Amino acid sequence: MKKFTFFAAIAMIAFTTTNSFAQSTASTTAASSATVIKPITITKAGDMNFGNLVATAAGGAIVLSTANARSGDAAILLGTQNGTVTAASFTVTGETAFTYAITLPTGTFNVSNSDPTPATMAVGSFVSSPNATGTLTAGTETLKVGATITLLANQASGVYTNTADLAVTVYYN
């Protein structure tokens, strides 16, 4: 009887130990994947041009919209010789149907003429179309940027330029 009890106790311990280990672990697998998308790019399609402006004794501000239209002080816009009037234009490309954010310059920058002591005009209050966020329909979209230019009283004549400060940044949302 002692042998039977001893073997029964050993069997009970073995069964209990095996049973508890069998229920304490489990495993499975999962797939891993990644999708590589096209990088977003922006290229200049056209420069910003406020066109011909008339210097006045008072000076003033002219707004250039993203639709290539000017508004503001009528005296500065006098005449039919408007010149070339265009908002800056950029082509944004990337992954089809993705959205992107637009960052425009903050504050102002100056355009200047070629006088020995260059005269300047401030350009600021930037706007874009689309505004703040765009969508890459068919993987591309045109981005237009307008702004406000401020003429001083009796602004010196000449062609005013700035080739570096109209920086536009785009990034995926």
- Per DSSP (E only), the strands in 20-119 are 41-46, 49-50, 60-64, 70-72, 85-86, 88-93, 99-103, 109-112
Tell me what the mean pLDDT of segment 37-50 comes to: 97
Which residue, 62, 49, 40, is CA-closest to 140? 40
What pLDDT score does 74 carry? Answer: 86
Task: Decide: 93 and 136 in contact? Cβ < 8 Å.
Answer: yes
User: Whole-number mean pLDDT of the chain?
Assistant: 90
Cα 96–102–108 angle (5° rounding)?
Answer: 155
CA distances from 23 to 15, 18, 27, 151, 170 (A): 13, 9, 12, 82, 54
Instruction: Give 78 or 93, the one with higher predicted confidence.
Output: 93
Tell me what the mean pLDDT of segment 75-100 comes to: 92
Query: Which domains does the chain show, CATH number per domain?
Result: 41-172 (2.60.40)
What pLDDT score does 75 carry? Answer: 86
Q: pLDDT class for 77, splitting at 50, 70, 90?
A: confident
What pLDDT score does 16 carry? Answer: 55
Tell me what the mean pLDDT of segment 117-135 comes to: 97
The share of the chain scoring above pLDDT 70, in percent, equals 86
Is residue 10 scored above 70 in pLDDT?
Answer: no
Task: Decide: 163 and 111 in contact? Cβ < 8 Å.
Answer: no
Query: Phi then psi for 102, rounded to 5 degrees?
Result: -120, 130
| pTM for this predicted structure | 0.82
The share of the chain scoring above pLDDT 90, in percent, equals 79
17: left (phi over 0), alpha (psi -120 to 50) or beta: alpha
